[in-house]
Structure 1
Amino acid sequence: MEKKDGSIDRKYIPILVLLFMGAFIDGLDTTIVNVALPTMAMDFDVSMSNSTWIILGYVLGLAALLIPAGKACKNGRVKKFFIAGTLTLLIGSVVCGFSKEYAFMVVFRTVQGIGAAMMSAAMPSIIVRLLPPDKKGIGMAAMGGASGVALILGPTLGGFVVGVASWNWIFFINIPFGIVLVLLAMHCLPKDGVPDPSKDPTPLGAVSVFLTVGLLLVILQNYGDKDQGVELMIACSAGALVSLIVLIYSIKHDRERAIISTKMVLNRDYILLGSAFFLSTMMLTGTQYVMPYWLQISYGMSTMESGMFLTISSVAMLTIVFWVGKLVDRRGGRSSSIAAQLCRLVLCIVMIVITPPDGLLILAAAMVFLGFSQAFSGTGHTTRMIHHATPGYEDESTNFLLVINYAAAAMGAVVYSMIIAITLPETTLLEIADYTVRMTNDAVNFTAVAGIAFLVLALVLSILVPNRVPDKSGKASEASDAPDNASE
């Protein structure tokens, strides 16, 4: 794939472009909304805590359906799912743009997430099947680089659009990119095979995991909110428990058709890496949730200014992400995953130490470290999980990696929202316009302390797993992080 002069073999370029654009559209749908959350919360007349459902609706559809969609993709439907998922996401985007009611917005954000799940489920299979075994890091780097571009354009475009028009228009920006992506997929993806119905996931497992994840998010999101009754919490808890029992039954009873294979999950190193990735991503997405509020309320930035500020981390990420991808292919991802936690710790410490309106330059420098962490984690940690996957379950393990990512994204926003509701209960009773600088600063401090706890545990788990480097056949063997032990 990579020639002696360092260039990429031309026949793989369309696949890398496809991966880049798919990850870009997915990333843009999240990042472009984050910076507009305060404005949308005011327009829909919801609190900071309740505004998380604009994020959670999208992530719920993704996290809950990614694994069953991944199994269906592997069963001869990669091209169909990629194209159908992209179209579903675009339809959801259009409807969200015309939404006037908050509940309607949340429902069609979930539709967007379902489409993104179908599209995202196909991408790991594309990497595993269409790229050489020793070059998967480049494929992951293409997706990571796309996320970086989305992180740059998302806040910038979102802030600009909200500033000159209204938040409704942010949902229409993806439309031209999606159309191009569908045409590219029709051209460069190979024809699907013939599906074997006996290998498809059972509907029971898909429905039960959707309900379990959804009800758990409702419980956590409303914990500490005085406006929510005990009856709702009891009903959701009972429903989540029943759904979980049904899910466990499905996994044990359906075996090969279960949405999660016990052989895939019962892997010590994979569990440790997955847990570390989950904790670290929770800190990242939780911080991305509170940051626009902090910048706009405590630092007095406009939506456009805060969007521009948030791009600092994305620019930093893009400066090193492809270099990190090549490094991981040569030396394994252990050092990169450890570096990711250390870089994120820098941001958490800075968030606690500085007091707005002072310290903006220091915060900007810390955002550079956050960008580096995204390159290290998005490439190094994810590639590590592929290297440590149970043999024969690479596709499922890679899809499960994405589930961990999106579930952590949802949990990060929910847990940070819950921390704010518990430590500052008055925030659940106020409109966004009534939030004070002190109140917002306290919320940031409490969540940053939680972020440090998550990262320290993630760091320990990352260190416990040995480093692995794949050879050209795709077989990964243990090695140190030193260059002289790297596979060539």
Structure 2
Amino acid sequence: MCAMTEKSPAGPDVRPWRALIALCVGFFMILLDQTIVAVATPALQADLGATYNEVIWVTSAYLLFFAVPLLVTGRLGDKYGPKNVYILGMVLFTLSSLACGLAPSITWLIIARAAQGLGAALLSPQTMSVINRIFPRDRRGAALGVWGATAGLSTLVGPLLGGVITSLLSWQWVFLVNVPIGVISVVAVAKFVPTFPLLKRPIDALSIALSVVAMFLFIFSIQQGETTGWPWWIFAGMLAAVGIAALFIRRQAAAAKTDREPLLPLPLFARRSFAFGNIGIAAMGFAVAGMMLPIMLYLQQVHHFSPMRAGLMVVPMSVVSMICAPLVGRLVDRTNPRPVAIVGFSIMVLTVALLVLVLRPGVSQWWILPVTTLMGFGHAGVWAPNSTLTLRDLPHKWAGAGSGMYNSTRQLGAVTGAAVIGAVMQWRLAVGSPGAFGQSLIPAAVVLAIGVWSAWRGAED
């Protein structure tokens, strides 16, 4: 695979598969850090003498600083070059990982995690932006299949890998393991990823400010709502975020008429495939980010599995997704991605609905294995086809903006899904429902049904 040298839009000397693998190493690592830390949380809490609220902020700080700037960092790749912005992000991520591993206090760890999140935000959108630039149109589906396998696998194996590292080494190594991988990624990206033409005009500063404030208010409100019991000021923050987002959209139209670049070119949404593809990836982010917690808690609290044994239960799903996603990517290079995405989302709806029935007392825990294994096919049927539909035909000048929007939408879906599923689970547990863990996944099934609709409506332009 790595030896392929087919012509790409970036030039005849570019080896796109080598560049993609170099980028995906870092992409896998930053997504892994969203879930891997959860398993190490009890150990680091005891070691650092942290309160429950402080421990929550170890994860919340990372997600907040990762999700908020994604629109901006995607466009920075258009302005300063995706290769340069990726390397900057990876250097920051690697250094902050070292700081996390050496943290002498919980405050130090939270600050370092925020820096990690910012580094992740800088590099994450550049991966898809580069794919659209270096792969010919008839090879982008296969490339996005590898990207999808990377994204899906990182989310699924995080709890398992976190349990292994924490059990065999210590919680510090959950972070320290990033350091050599980060160095390898920087060297490989510097060597294999080409440079591209840059935007000439400056990016509109007011658009950047409005974007950051709106994203911060929305994500911070959701994060705090889950831990504060959803008081009135949480909803006020969300409404303020919506209002500022409306001002942001109006500003994009105004900025397009000036000598400055809008942060998010609105003509992107005139493309049917882009608009509905973002709805689809938000639905997928909602389900994937939230569903692992009820499954892991069900296995550990109802069936008394150890964290490592519970993590092993989702290994078949991870393996199926990892193997099938690149194959599906090649398929969508030769056929219309739309029906493949419809099937993928439909499998996700079916399997999540089955989990609602399976995650309850009186049902053997082993039913989880066939259901989640089938879900692996659903994962593979969504990532590459939905990404191909959404991003394959974007003009190169909008590659960073489109990738930034796609990643922002996925993260917004993920943050919202984790909060909603967590809130429903707590509510059902509080009222003593025996099927609380399964019932918490009902919102995921409903939102994935919207994903089916978006794939059906999102015909290519």
Give the shorter-chain TM-score range: 0.7 to 0.9
Q: CA deviation at 1:203?
A: 3.7
Paired with 1:195 and 1:446, the residues of 2 have a C-alpha distance of 49
Paired with 1:95 and 1:55, the residues of 2 have a C-alpha distance of 15
Paired with 1:158 and 1:14, the residues of 2 have a C-alpha distance of 28
Do structure 1's residue 408 and structure 2's residue 413 form an aligned pair? yes
Task: From the superposition, tell whether residues 2 and 133 of structure 1 become closer, same or farther in structure 2 (CA, over 3 Å).
Answer: farther
Within 5 Å, give how 1:21-420 maps onto structure 2: 21-36=25-40, 44-46=50-52, 53-99=57-103, 105-151=109-155, 154-191=158-195, 196=200, 198-199=201-202, 201-223=203-225, 230=232, 232-233=233-234, 236-237=237-238, 240=241, 243-244=244-245, 247-255=248-256, 256-354=260-358, 355-356=360-361, 358-387=363-392, 389=394, 393-420=398-425
Q: What SS does structure 2 have at the residue aligned with 1:393?
A: helix
What amino acid maps onto 1:67 in structure 2?
L
What amino acid maps onto 1:290 in structure 2?
P
Q: What SS does structure 2 have at the residue aligned with 1:142?
A: helix
Q: What SS does structure 2 have at the residue aligned with 1:276?
A: helix
What amino acid maps onto 1:209 in structure 2?
S
Q: CA deviation at 1:254?
A: 2.4
Structure 1: 5+ residue stretches without partners: 427-437, 469-476, 478-488
What's the CA shift string for 1:44-69, capped at 9, x where partnerless? Answer: 4427xx97654443333333222222
CA contact (8 A) 1:34 1:292 kept: no
Question: What does residue 432 of structure 1 align with?
Answer: none
Q: What SS does structure 1 have at the residue aligned with 2:305?
A: coil
CA contact (8 A) 1:295 1:306 kept: yes
Task: From the superposition, tell whether residues 166 and 296 of structure 1 become closer, same or farther in structure 2 (CA, over 3 Å).
Answer: farther
CA contact (8 A) 2:155 2:289 kept: no
Please give the root-mean-square deviation of Cα atoms over the aligned residues, in Å: 3.2
Task: From the superposition, tell whether residues 275 and 238 of structure 1 become closer, same or farther in structure 2 (CA, over 3 Å).
Answer: closer
Q: CA deviation at 1:331?
A: 0.4
Paired with 2:401 and 2:198, the residues of 1 have a C-alpha distance of 19
Paired with 1:458 and 1:41, the residues of 2 have a C-alpha distance of 38
Task: From the superposition, tell whether residues 387 and 130 of structure 1 become closer, same or farther in structure 2 (CA, over 3 Å).
Answer: closer
What's the CA shift string for 1:159-212, capped at 9, x where partnerless? Answer: 11222343332111121111101111121223465663x23x334333332232
CA contact (8 A) 1:97 1:169 kept: yes
CA contact (8 A) 2:35 2:158 kept: yes
CA contact (8 A) 2:58 2:113 kept: yes
Q: What SS does structure 1 have at the residue aligned with 2:34?
A: helix
Question: What does residue 482 of structure 1 align with?
Answer: none
Paired with 2:279 and 2:230, the residues of 1 have a C-alpha distance of 31
Paired with 2:361 and 2:237, the residues of 1 have a C-alpha distance of 39
Q: What SS does structure 2 have at the residue aligned with 1:258?
A: coil
Paired with 1:366 and 1:37, the residues of 2 have a C-alpha distance of 28
Paired with 1:114 and 1:163, the residues of 2 have a C-alpha distance of 29
Q: What SS does structure 1 have at the residue aligned with 2:15?
A: helix
Q: CA deviation at 1:93?
A: 1.9
CA contact (8 A) 1:35 1:306 kept: no
1:445 paired residue among 435, 438, 441? 438
CA contact (8 A) 1:35 1:292 kept: no
What amino acid maps onto 1:415 in structure 2?
V
Paired with 2:38 and 2:334, the residues of 1 have a C-alpha distance of 35
What amino acid maps onto 1:465 in structure 2?
G
What's the CA shift string for 1:266-287, capped at 9, x where partnerless? Answer: 4344222221221232012110
Structure 2: 5+ residue stretches without partners: 7-13
What amino acid maps onto 1:117 in structure 2?
A
What amino acid maps onto 2:411 in structure 1?
Y
What's the CA shift string for 1:386-444, capped at 9, x where partnerless? Answer: 24657963442233222222221222112222333555558xxxxxxxxxxx67x6442
CA contact (8 A) 1:224 1:425 kept: no
What amino acid maps onto 1:398 in structure 2?
S
Paired with 2:198 and 2:381, the residues of 1 have a C-alpha distance of 38
Q: CA deviation at 1:319?
A: 2.1
1:20 paired residue among 14, 21, 24? 24
CA contact (8 A) 1:38 1:292 kept: no
Q: CA deviation at 1:148?
A: 4.8
CA contact (8 A) 1:202 1:254 kept: yes
Q: CA deviation at 1:113?
A: 2.0
- Could you tell which deviates more after superposition, 221-230 or 184-193? 221-230
CA contact (8 A) 2:78 2:397 kept: no
Q: What SS does structure 1 have at the residue aligned with 2:263?
A: coil
What amino acid maps onto 1:46 in structure 2?
Y
What amino acid maps onto 1:62 in structure 2?
F
Task: From the superposition, tell whether residues 28 and 305 of structure 1 become closer, same or farther in structure 2 (CA, over 3 Å).
Answer: same
Q: What SS does structure 2 have at the residue aligned with 1:260?
A: coil
Identity within the alignment, %: 20
2:449 paired residue among 437, 456, 465? 456
- Could you tell which deviates more after superposition, 70-79 or 377-386? 70-79
What amino acid maps onto 1:215 in structure 2?
L
Q: What SS does structure 1 have at the residue aligned with 2:366?
A: helix
Q: What SS does structure 2 have at the residue aligned with 1:167?
A: coil
Q: CA deviation at 1:127?
A: 1.1
What amino acid maps onto 2:357 in structure 1?
V
